[in-house]
Chain A
Amino acid sequence: MNVTLRLAFRNIKEHRAKSIIIGMFIILGTAIVELGNGFLESVNRGLELDFRAHYTGDIVISAPAPENTKMDMFGISNMSSLGDIQQIPALEDINAIEEQVKSLKGVKSETKLISAKAMLMKGDEADFDMEGDSGSMPTCFLFAGENDTYFKMFPGQHISEGTYPDKNENTLLIDSRLRDKYYKYYKTNLNVGDTILLAGYGAQSIVREAKICGFYTQPEEHSAMYPLVYCNPSFARAFADLTYGATFAQSLPSSVDTTIADSSEDDLFGGSDTMIASDSGVLGKGKENFNNILGDTTLRDKLNKTDDGAWNFIILKLDNSLNDKKTVKELNNMFTANKIHARALNWKNASATFTSSVDGISGIFTALVVILAIVVFIIIMNTMTVSVIERTSEIGTMRALGAEKNFIRRLFFNESVFIGAFSSVIGSIIAIICMLIINSFKIAIDNDTVKLILGGGLIAFIPTVKNILGTILLITTGSVLANIYPLSAALKITPLKALSKDGE
């Protein structure tokens, strides 16, 4: 065996206490990093499989997000100010988008979706004074897919009672979790055939009546997905504000002056005193005129009618889902080239409401790992420096006997690589055993907030070869780097020092 390797192994054995201290820190660090990576891998993989298979497909096409907002399939978050909850805009020029999609290769299937937020109500109106916190309110996402294609693309719902929503009636297929929430909040059971009210979110406080056609359990037991209610598109369009009026407003050219929309009622119609007392002004010519102006609601009704051709999203599944990034890029280039007001997103961006929290956790975890690495790094460096001081005589003797500085470098390199690699392998084995044990318990958390933060309710770990080898390489490199300072101290030891220290 090479003399430096032999010396390295013997020194590690000889200085057991030091080696064990360093080894324990590396083992602990490796296990923490790999458990964290294994958990994040499990979360990411679980989210991806669940969302691609049941909610987002591989690619989602939507209108661009309104200015200063973030938008995905589950809503819009306004980054600049608080205000009314904005509805997801409808796709403009849907035919042109579909033409572009048809020209793409590798598209397996296509469907369309309307998405809105709603809350189940008891009786005629929502009872916000009921006991219980707002987090337990029976709120949901309202999903309405294209009649013939949506449930073919996403057939995973396990219907426990009833049937899918009717194409022509306002019926609802409700998530069983929402039924439980409803019961907890209103102390009333929901059954198939019951008629309930749904209240919409947003500027228009819309309330609609619908009949429950069935209940289902979500495809993935521990999914992070909020409760969904499936309905037919025309019902959902009212909640998503996909009316002719909205579509008309959306398609107005920028040259049209819409500042009137920002004016108050008083600005438009004068103060209340004026309206009652005065005979002048717009509304001042008597009851007859008043009725003539406001009594005719034909235009308003027309604009409030839902736009049957309006959709929020086009969802695509690809023959090979690994091509999603490439296809997203291709589609976005097509939209830009053809001046189509739309954007394509991959599954992750389309479900950012859920994936961003996992990304946040990944960031926090990375920061913790960096702090941990610095602490371990300093401990290794300190221990090795003490070791160098203890071995001054030995190193000096080697130099006196003709060992070049490179020999001392190799010696320390071998020692640190061996301790780093061996300990990180042990750490990996411990981490894998921990993962297997925890996975076998199938620990699940049934809290929507925790599910949203953790990307799902199941606490599981997936050890991957890439993560394990990457961690071992990283830790080994780190332990080599931690030896730079002790090594520089060792290289300064001259043979002269061998004579001034007690030898063996």
Chain B
Amino acid sequence: MAVVTFSNVRKVYPLGKQQVVAVNGATFSVEKGEFAAISGPSGSGKSTILNMTGLIDVPSAGSIIIDGTDVYNGINLEETQTDTGRWENTGNGKKKVKTTLPAKLDNRITGLRRSHLGFIFQTFNLIPVLNVYENIEFPVLIGKKGDSESPVDSFSKEQKEEWIDYLIEKVGLTDWKKHKPSELSGGQRQRVAIARALVTKAPVILADEPTANLDSKNSGQILSLMKNLNRDSELQTTFIFSTHDTRIVNMCDHVIHLLDGEITKDEHKTGSDSYGLAEVQ
């Protein structure tokens, strides 16, 4: 069953008077439980695809289905642009580009992000004033009752605490749960980010160059951890990476190769686990 489906997705960025096509007609699916990578050289459009998958960037055309929800169904995508804050010459003098999404669409997308998607950023992006436990707990606390589809929302307070403790144990930070991000190493911070991505039991975890800021030892441990979580039959989490790290690509069972905004190869591999894990462990 596909958890992410792109159909003829196109993304165009205005650059001055010109239009830059970042992604052109991307069509692919990622199945539940896959360990997938979007790979390609810098500027190939992999981050743009990941951002659109994570619903933090809006496509210019096409359709994106996340866990069965056609996100932009019935929406005129030409009218929805993300905030660029740019001034453009429209012919009638300079005008500011309409930058914000309509509130209703913004709230729907935000809800989908929380309940269906987890994020692991290259720069960790933990909330500096919260400790490890609180950072992981954060996505659970921001849910609005009644409009969220996250299974964690139905948990009692004790169940939520147990679940967060379980994740902290899984990422090996039990002794660090009261520490602030500034007191942790890079690897530990990324572990917190992984646990935070998993906390809402989102079916898809998106990771943008997750090992770019880590040394090789920590990178190996983080990748190993994510692979184990991917294998965990209880979680059944799908991981999608944006990367040009060959170790990650080698570990993945599904690799989407990009070049100049177009998919050049949609590769499904078998037997990648042992190779990848062997290399990183």
**A contact residues vs B (CB 8 Å cutoff):** 3, 6-7, 10-11, 13-14, 393-394, 396-405, 407, 491-496, 498-499, 501-504
Contact = CB atoms under 8 A, between A and B. Distances in A.
Interface in B208-243: 208
Contact of B113 (A402, A503, A504): A402
A502 B124 CA distance: 8
Contact of B107 (A396, A404, A503): A404
B127 to A, nearest CB: 6
25 contacts: A6-B130, A6-B134, A7-B130, A10-B130, A397-B125, A398-B142, A400-B54, A401-B139, A401-B196, A402-B139, A403-B110, A404-B107, A404-B111, A407-B142, A492-B99, A492-B100, A494-B56, A494-B82, A496-B57, A496-B82, A499-B47, A499-B122, A503-B121, A503-B126, A504-B127
Contacts of A393: 123, 125
Given A398-B138, A503-B124, 4 more contacts: A6-B134, A402-B139, A407-B142, A492-B83
Contacts of A7: 127, 129-130
Nearest to B137: A3
Contacts of A397: 121, 125-127
Interface in B103-150: 103, 106-107, 110-111, 113-115, 119, 121-130, 134, 138-139, 141-144
A498 B125 contact: yes
A406 B197 CA distance: 22
A415 to B, nearest CB: 11
> Which of B113, B142, B208 gathers the greatest number of chain A CB atoms within 10 Å?
B142
A491 B208 CA distance: 24
Contacts of B121: 397, 498-499, 503
B129 A13 contact: yes
B16 to A, nearest CB: 19
Contacts of B115: 402
B85 interface: yes
A393 B83 CA distance: 15
- In order of increasing CB-CB distance, the 3 nearest A-B pairs are A402-B114, A503-B125, A10-B129
Contacts of A404: 106-107, 110-111, 142, 144
A398 B54 CA distance: 14
Contacts of B196: 401
A491 B47 CA distance: 23
A495 B127 contact: no
B189 interface: yes
Interface string B83-102: 10100000000000001100
Nearest to B193: A503
Contacts of B82: 494, 496
A493 B99 CA distance: 11
